[in-house]
Structure formats: C-alpha cells, structure tokens
A and B are shown apart, each in its own frame.
Chain A
Amino acid sequence: MASEAPGLTLDQDGKSPRIRLTGQWVLRHLSGSINKLRRQLARCKSDPQTIWDLESIDGLDSTGALLLWRHWGRRRPAQLRLRTEYEPLFQRLEQMPAPAPALKRKPLEWVARLGAAMLSAATHLRELVALLGQLTLDILSFPARPDRIPWREISANIYKSGGRALLITGLVGLLIGIVMSYLSALQLRLLGGERFIVNLMGLSVTRELGPLLAAILIAGRSGSSITAELGVMRLTQELDALATMGISPFKRVLLPKVLALAITMPLLAFWTMAAAIFGGMLVAQSELNITFGQFLSDLPGAIPIVTYWIALAKSIAFGVVIGLVSCHFGLRIKPNTESLGYETTNAVVTAITLVILTDAIFAVGLRDIGWQE
C-alpha cells in the first residue's frame, strides 16, 4: 500500500478546472500537513464547474472527508468523481445530525452560585448530624441484638487505623518532643529552673500536644483512606450491592470505621504522648543533666490525674469527628475519578479543621480544670 503524503493539484487546462487529490487523506498522514492543505484548498475557488477528482486517492477516512466536506460548504460539489467504496463516508456526513444546542448560561449565575455555596454548607451540617444520628441509632440497637455487632469489621478497622499508625505517630511524637524540650531547655537554663522541664513537657504534651498531634496525623492518614474507600465502593456499586442484600452499609461499613477510630484515637494519643515525653527525657538528660530516674519520679506529680481524663475525652471526640467527616465526604463522592480526589481532599481539610476547632472548644470549656496551684 502506498503511503504517500496527501496532496492536491489544480488543473486549469480543460474547459473546466479540475482538482485532483492524491495520496493518503487519512488522519495519520494529514496531521502533519493539515494547515498547508487547508491553505491549498482555500486557494481553489470552488465554482460549480470545478471537477473534484478523488479517484486517484490512496486512502480516505472521516477526517479527510470532513476536511473536504467543510471546504465544500457541507454539501457535495456538483462534479464529484468518487470511488464507490468512499461513498458511505460522505453519506454519513450528509446525514450527520445538527450539533446539540449550546446550554444557555443563566443571567446572574454568580448570585446563584454564591447562594448554592451557602446552602451547601448548611447541607453538610445537616447531613453530618443525620449521619451521627443514624450511627447512634445503630449503636443503640446493638444491646438488643448483640449477635449483630460487626466485631470482625471493628477489629479489622482498629488494626488498619491504629496498629498500622503506630510507627508514624510514635516517630512524630518523639521528634516533636525533642524539638519542644530542646527549645524549653534553653530558656529554662537561663532562668535556672531546669527541673521545670518535667512540668512543662508533661503538662503540654498530655493536655494538648499528644492528642492533637495524633488526631491530625490520623485525620490525614485514616481520614483520606476512609473517604477514598467509600468512594470506590460507590464507584463500583458495592454499596448498592450491600443494600440489595439487606445489609445496611451504615452498620456494616461506616459504623465499624467510626467506632474503631473512637477506640484507637485515645490509644494512639497516649502512645504519642509517651513518645514525646521520651523525647523530652532524652533532651533533659543531655542538655540539663536530669536523669531518666529523676524525670520519671517527678512526672506523676507534675501531671494532675484529671489531665489524662481530659486527654481521653478529647481523643474520643477527635476520633468520632474524623470518622464522621470522612464517612460523610465518602458518601458524597459521585461516580467519577475527579470527584474522588476532590472529596478526599475536602475530607482531610475539614477533618483537621474540625479537630482543631474541637480542641479549642475543649480548651475554653475546661480552662479552669486541672491546673495545679
């Protein structure tokens, strides 16, 4: 098969001009020279006498045909020499339906969009509350049917969101502990209050840093994975399949995730605290000559017991917030890949923001509790 470049020659000799097309008028050969051919075509004034001779063409596909068709003003020229096998191409072009009418842009669209954004914030809130309510109802139904508690799912999720996060939370806790105590050590040495490192580290880590650090890490780690997992289940209609089997996706899929987070969050928070305090101990020993033994014997006195309760309550709240938010965004995912990425980002950003907001609420609400005189 010849693979000639497409071309055309204008022949003025005879009574009427004749345009002869040669070569491969197919996309693969056209794409390099399409503009040149367009210019050549434009030079051929198409009057009714012109003979379009396509008989010596080596190949023609829809792109080539369309190019000519557009040049001809969307109709057959009066004098067209065409091989029969190319007939269907032009028949299709003749029968081609008109383009779908463009969608009208509504006036004042930005007003509508602003309103929709406000409403969507309200919708998010309503749906989150509804989700919380649904999950609460599900939990309340458990005592009546203990055999229906999804133990396996809960334990699998505890492993996924807790067990596998131990390394990262521990590492980050340790590093933050080292950085914090190093900074404080410098200041405390100036003031001569070296032993206060224990109080400073102990209190700030247990009351604020430990739970918050762990929650932010888990919001990024488990939050995104929960949202993406639910999103893919939506994409692949797994949620629909569950529903048709009479298995509530809330009970079987969402609830175990939220419960698992509520259980693992406090555990991870205490683990992070321990790592951060260990980091503090390392610095205290190397910078301030406070031995591990001294540090550990001062520690219980420095942290009032209520601080642990606050940390526990906070962490559970963080876990529930992360679980709810990521499930909520997971359920909103539409069956396309773009929405998957969009809602996953939303879930993580919202979860972290809400975690910090919750932390602030705790801080303000409990501002008079747990401080030693």
Chain B
Amino acid sequence: MSPPSPTVIEMRGIVTRFGAQVVHDGIDLSVQRGEVLGLVGGSGSGKTTLLREMIGLQNPSAGEVHAFGEAVFAARRTHQTKALRQRWGVLFQHGALFTALSVTDNIALPLRELRALDEPLIQELVRLKLAMVGLKPEDGRRHPAELSGGMIKRVGLARALALDAELLLLDEPTSGLDPVASEQFVDLIAELRSTLGLTVALVTHDLDTLVDLCDRIAVLADRKLIVIGTLDEVIACDHPFIQSYFRGHRGGRLLSKRQ
C-alpha cells in the first residue's frame, strides 16, 4: 500500500468500565486503509467490547472513536449514521442472524434497505454471496434455527459482505468452521482485499488465520494494548502473555513451521 494511507478507524484513550470492572484502561488503536488487523487476547480481555466500540454499539467510558474521520458515537444521533453504516459490514461472535427471516432474507435485508436495487438483482447478489461463503443456493431457504454452528458463521459473514462494505469487522470469523472452511475464509478475505481494497479488523483465536491473513496484530492483555505490529514485532515482545500465547506448545509449533 502507498505509504501515507489514511486511517479508517482511530481510537484514542479508550477506557471501558462495567461497574467496578475496568476492561480497557487507555487504549490507542488505529486501523489503516487496506490492512487486515488481527485483535488477539485472552478470553474476556475485551476484544468484542473493543469491536463494539469501533462501530458505536457501545460508548466507551472515556476516549474517542473516529471511523472514516467521523466521531462514531456522535454520529449515532445524526443523519450521517446511515451513510456511515453502509460503509462497514459486521459479523457478530454469535451470528446475530434474524431468526424470523430465512437465510436469503437475512442477507438481502441490508440490500433491500437501500431501496435502490430491484428484486432479481438482489436475489442474484444473495446467491453470489452465498456461493462466496461456500453455501448452496438451497440453503437460502432455511431459517437460522435450522443451521449448524458453522453455517450460522458463514451466513453471518455473507450478510456482513452483502453491501461490499469498505470495512469489515469480524468477531471470531473462523471459530466453529472446519479447517478447510477456515482456509477458504482466509482465501476469500485475501481475494476481496485485492479486488475491493477492503479493510478488515478481526478478532480471532486461530493462530493459522492470524499468521496467514493479518498484516498487523494487536494484543490486548492487562486492560492495555500491550503491542501492535507485524507478527515478528509482536513475537519479539517479551510480555508474559505473548510468550505463552505464541511460544506455547501450539504457537511454537506453528511458528516453527512458518520458518
């Protein structure tokens, strides 16, 4: 990418408290255009919360969040919200599919909401997105309750991709997918990135995805962002969490394979 790439998401001095519990204590994080940023950290370290704050679903106790140069939480109350929201697609950790709608209608919903496309075009776009995430056209008729855990993830991803948004926020996109599907996911994101110039921020516990896909990795631990940088930079850090996360039994095996 060209050196002075503009920032898509900028978080400054984020503090998050739930009652007495402090989840984030002064986090500065930015997502650059065109990059894939991986967010890692132990369970309950506040990755999902940080992602929710990026898109204004949750207001941090202190600090500022800007997306595409606009203050996210302030935009919630203005007409700009809508324009902003069409520029990102979100995959929730637990899918958050609309249970009353079929798979097709779930994916078509954001497209229909634009009120610009006609129904045949929407149907075909839905079919394309389903194929992208490896689902069959017949699956479109099913309802979320009739899907397997991995299928829910895929439909959630297809819905996040529906608008071909510039920014994708994915919360554990590969958890619940079999290894083949995870690999397909990595290929899909890599492809979308080259065609659409996509920016991605993703939370993952999957070291393979991290190694194969992410340009930069941000590590959350002890309520702080302890390091952000390329994989090598991250591994070079001697924080105990990183030592155990990447140099533990599994991480070590993976990294040695990479070399």
Contacts and interface: CB of A to CB of B under 8 A. Distances in A.
Q: Is A bound to B? A: yes
Interface of A: 1, 26-28, 30-32, 34, 59-63, 66-67, 70, 85-86, 88-89, 92-93, 95-100, 103, 235, 334-339
B180 interface: no
Interface string B184-196: 0000000100111
A176 B102 CA distance: 47
A99 B140 CA distance: 10
B127 A96 contact: yes
A290 to B, nearest CB: 57
B222 interface: no
Nearest to A103: B141
B197 A31 contact: no
A95 B137 CA distance: 13
Interface residues of B, number: 32
Given A61-B164, A63-B164, A88-B195, A336 B99 contact: yes
B196 A97 contact: no
B86 A97 contact: no
B128 interface: yes
Contacts of A89: 195
Interface in B111-152: 114, 116-117, 121, 123-125, 127-129, 131-132, 136-138, 140-141, 143-145
Nearest to A67: B121
B4 to A, nearest CB: 13
Contacts of A59: 196-197
B239 interface: no
Given A60-B195, A61-B196, A336-B99, A31 B116 contact: yes
B134 to A, nearest CB: 11
B136 A97 contact: yes
A155 B62 CA distance: 43
* Centre residue among A66, A95, A103 by max chain B CB count within 10 A: A66
Given A66-B124, A89-B195, A100 B164 contact: no
B47 to A, nearest CB: 23
A270 B85 CA distance: 56
Contacts of B132: 92
A336 B114 contact: no
Contacts of A70: 121, 124
Contacts of A85: 194-195
A66 B145 CA distance: 30
B248 to A, nearest CB: 32
B127 A336 contact: no
Given A31-B116, A66-B128, A96-B131, A336 B121 contact: no
Given A31-B117, A66-B124, A337 B100 contact: yes
